Amino acid sequence: MSKHLSRSSNRDICVIVPTIREYDCLRAYVDNARQHGFDVSRLHFVLVTEDFCDTDAMRTMLDELDVSGDVFDGQRRDEWYARQGIDEYAHVVPAASHAETSFGLLYMWATESFEYGVFIDDDTLPHDDEDYFGRHMRNLAFGGTVERVRSDEQWVNVLYQNADDHGLYPRGYPYSAMDETIETDAVDVAAGEVVASQGLWTNVPDLDAVRILMDGDLAGQAQTRTTADDFDRDFVAARGNYLTVCSMNLAFRREVIPAFYQLPMDDNEWEVGRFDDIWSGVFLKRACDVLGKRIYNGRPLCEHNKAARSTFDDLHNEAAGLELNEHLWTLIDDAGADADDYADVFDAMADRLAEGEFAEYRNGAFFTHVGEHMRDWLDCLGALRRTPAPADD
């Protein structure tokens, strides 16, 4: 049986992995930690999967790796909601969607010993020459001078450093913000100011389907690939500037969870998908700007080995939300200006969407749907705090 988290555990990092196929990637991440001397007893792995997957094999892998962890398919998630007394909020985590990472956030919130979370996608691998978990933790503890990037479009392309050569924009970057002019300078960041560490990716870049097609690839990947040479230095985006936040390689502090809900994609009547982490990143950046916090970007890199699939399938999943993605950030850009914590900022953004009128946009009612779910997210977190129960059985 896999090791379960106990109340007396010194494990303070919850590693959340949505997976239905390549869960073996965790072997490389655990091996990387041990090779670089990172204390694996700090790690607790939460595999979020589906009822049709081989959960016994996943638990066996955790045992073989001698690490703490657990596996939650749909049935076990329902059982967990019932133990926590939050059955009425089960809908905040969509079925059969990458946004099921939100379950990992609820699991973290219910277990106060977790100070940090890490999102890892199962089609990634760590770079052998980098201390993966150690670098993320150092980024979150960072204090010093780092490059600051801003643009005249209020959006920072996280691939800006070599954009003149590869011309890439990541998934979720608004088309209306392309051809931006950027400025860089140095900024002093105080210790404790960094609340999220976004590691970037080599091999297959994280592009949307339209950009993949423009790159000449029909297999859902990209003809243009990224290497470590495309990421020369770490950086932060300036206040008032947004950036894409991809959850495939991301560490964060517990405190951001109220404003970091992975939005309800795929399982909705408008068939909007593929923007769960992108929109959560927009909301988190707004909260960071209000509260004087930072998202740190760059290393550690991961190798993204996206499986071949029809680019047109991805296009179908993304098309319903492409127009909405162009406008979301403008709708919340001044929300929560007087808020003094993450929940208050998030609540203000939720109100902006839940109470707005969006008939001018195709599928505009989805914004209202998202706002209502954001409110439910905050209520769910409150319910977990009011009636705490063991996070594991």
Rounded Cα distance between 83 and 390, Å, is: 8
What separation in angstroms does the CA of 207 have from each of 43, 181, 229? 30, 21, 19
What separation in angstroms does the CA of 142 have from each of 52, 156, 253, 278, 318? 41, 21, 13, 24, 35
Instruction: Please give the pLDDT value at position 46.
Output: 98
Annotated domain spans of the chain: 13-386
Rounded Cα distance between 71 and 27, Å, is: 15
Rounded Cα distance between 281 and 295, Å, is: 10
What are 272-307's pLDDT values in tens digits? 999 999 999 999 999 999 999 999 999 999 999 999
Distance of CA 262 to the CA centre of its chain: 7
What are 124-179's pLDDT values in tens digits? 999 999 999 999 999 999 999 999 999 999 999 999 999 999 999 999 999 999 99
Compute φ and ψ for 185, nearest 5 degrees: -155, -170
What are 231-266's pLDDT values in tens digits? 999 999 999 999 999 999 999 999 999 999 999 999
Q: Are β-strands 68-72 and 43-48 bridged in parallel, bridged antiparallel, or unpaired? A: parallel
| Number of helices followed by number of strands (H, E) in the chain | 11, 13
What separation in angstroms does the CA of 4 have from each of 13, 48, 125? 14, 15, 25
